[in-house]
Amino acid sequence: MGKKKNNKFKIIRFVLGVASLTVLGVLTIGVNTQCHELNMDIDDMKRNLTYLRNESSSLDGKITQLYRRDNIEKIAREEINLISAVIEPIEIVLKD
């Protein structure tokens, strides 16, 4: 009778062990899936960051170009019909 009782405990331990390993395996697969999805999100964000850095650099170049005096004058003439002022020298005479 002792062997039958011992066999029951072995079977119960075996079933519990298999169940525990199954649960552990399922949890591991779930975590792996989440890690894969997060890695894909990270890659997308890295690509987006690279694009935005390139866009920022391009805009910085355009800003630098537009700040040049000749470009400001050209835009003022073409878009708002302004003319540049002509500064003529003035002769100042001081009398004592």
Supply the pLDDT for residue 60: 94
DSSP per-residue letters across 77-88: HHHH---PPP--
φ and ψ at 35, to 5 degrees? -60, -40
Mean pLDDT for the stretch of residues 83-95 = 77
Domain boundary assignment for the chain: 2-80
Q: How confident is the model at residue 77 (pLDDT cuts 50, 70, 90)?
A: confident
- pLDDT of residue 43 exceeding 90: yes
pLDDT tens for 22-35 read: 999 999 999 999 99
| Spatial separation of the C-alpha atoms in residues 41 and 47, rounded to whole Å | 10
Q: Name the band, by pLDDT with cuts 50, 70 and 90, for residue 94.
A: confident
Residue 55 CA: distances (Å) to CA of 34, 43, 52, 84, 91: 31, 18, 5, 33, 51
Q: With beta carbons less than 8 A apart as the criterion, state whether 83 and 94 touch.
A: no
- Residue 49, pLDDT > 90, answer yes
Tens-place pLDDT, residues 6-20: 888 888 899 999 999
pLDDT score of 2: 58
**Helix, strand or coil, per DSSP, at residue 95:** coil
